């Protein structure tokens, strides 16, 4: 499993929008500048997020994008499942499986890893990512 730029950028953009939500509608151009992502590429990501009701958009002067729900309700797993073809650690766990699944002696290893990945990614929310980005909160001795 390798997370693409689309998935990584979707997370960054959603965190950015969550952090700037109190300011109202957030223009695409501002997000693109802060995140150093081309507006064209960002548009394709936002299209996916709007289509799946994670964001709403408003055109025209004073327009932009907003989250449709509270940051605590968005999980990293749900976002990545929208932007990635698959989060499965091996192809045999993807839809359809493989012809050797019934006699595969390693299948349980990949199923266990898949479960750990899903549970981990589904346990982290946008709110968690916002908190993790606060400077000075992560110093450990």
Neighbours of 133 (CB within 10 A): 12
pLDDT at 29: 95
Give the chain's end-to-end CA distance (angstroms, integer).
33
Cα–Cα distance for residue pair 39/50, rounded to 1 Å: 16
Neighbours of 80 (CB within 10 A): 22
Q: Over the stretch 97-127, which tens digit does the pLDDT of each residue have? A: 788 888 889 999 999 999 999 999 999 999 9
Q: What is the pTM of this model?
A: 0.86
**Secondary structure (H, E, C), the chain:** CCCCHHHHHHHHHHHHHHHHHHHCCECHHHHHHHHCCCHHHHHHHHHHHHHCCCEEEECCCCCEEEECCCHHHCEHHHHHHHHCCCCCCCHHHCCCCCCCHHHCCCHHHHHHHHHHHHHHHHCCEHHHHHHHCCCCCCCCC
Which residues in the chain come in under a pLDDT of 70? 133-141
pLDDT at 133: 65
């Amino acid at each position: 499993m390798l997370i693409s730029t689309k998935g990584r950028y979707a997370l960054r953009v959603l965190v950015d929008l969550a952090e700037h939500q109190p300011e109202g509608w957030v223009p695409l151009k501002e997000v693109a500048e802060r995140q150093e992502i081309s507006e064209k590429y960002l548009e394709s990501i936002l299209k996916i997020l709007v289509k799946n009701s994670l964001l709403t958009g408003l055109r025209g002067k004073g327009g932009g994008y907003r989250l449709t729900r509270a940051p605590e309700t968005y999980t990293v797993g749900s976002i990545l499942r929208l932007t990635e073809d698959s989060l499965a650690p091996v192809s045999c766990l993807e839809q359809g499986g493989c012809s050797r699944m019934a006699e595969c002696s390693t299948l349980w290893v990949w199923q266990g890893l898949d479960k750990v990945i899903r549970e981990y990614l589904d346990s982290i929310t946008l709110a968690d990512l916002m908190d993790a980005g606060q400077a000075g909160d992560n110093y450990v001795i």
